[in-house]
Amino acid sequence: MDISGKYVKAMPETRGESQRGPWVRGGFVIETDDVYPRQVAFTLFGEDRLAMIKDLQPGALVVVTFSPESREYNERWYTDLRCIRVSAAAAAPSPVSVASAAAPAQPHAAAAAPSFATPPTMAQDTDDDLPF
């Protein structure tokens, strides 16, 4: 799954030791650009995944590819959004430029609308086989 938004911040890293060796877990938060923006937290597991967000600055536009995972513990469900990839999003053009913000909006020239004041006339010598 993919989601895009503005990078907000990185969460603290957690380090530990297992039977397989040392591990590291971290995460980050983005804010979506929907009508009602939402903040979404993602987790990263491993040094290679944490390196993807090291150079990100707050406010940067990103696209996050993730995998949602849920698990049960003591009859309660917990959902984790595991980040697979983070990439920079293409910057969207500004909706209002400086020139258009200073000038008042001009109405668009409308195409000439047909006038229905008088019904269209048919040629009198048409040969059609309609009964009316």
Sequential DSSP letters for 29-84: EEEE-SSS--EEEEEEESHHHHGGGTTPPTT-EEEEEEEEEEEEETTEEEEEEEEE
Range of the domain at 57: 2-88
Could you tell me if residue 114 is inside a domain?
no
- 37 phi and psi angles, rounded to 5 deg: -60, 140
Q: Looking at residue 12, which CATH number applies to its domain?
A: 2.40.50.140
Could you tell me if residue 96 is inside a domain?
no
Number of domains observed in the structure of the chain: 1
pLDDT tens digits along 48-64: 999 999 989 999 999 99
Q: Using 50, 70 and 90 to split pLDDT, how confident is the model at 88? A: confident
Could you tell me if residue 44 is inside a domain?
yes
pLDDT tens digits along 5-17: 999 999 999 999 9
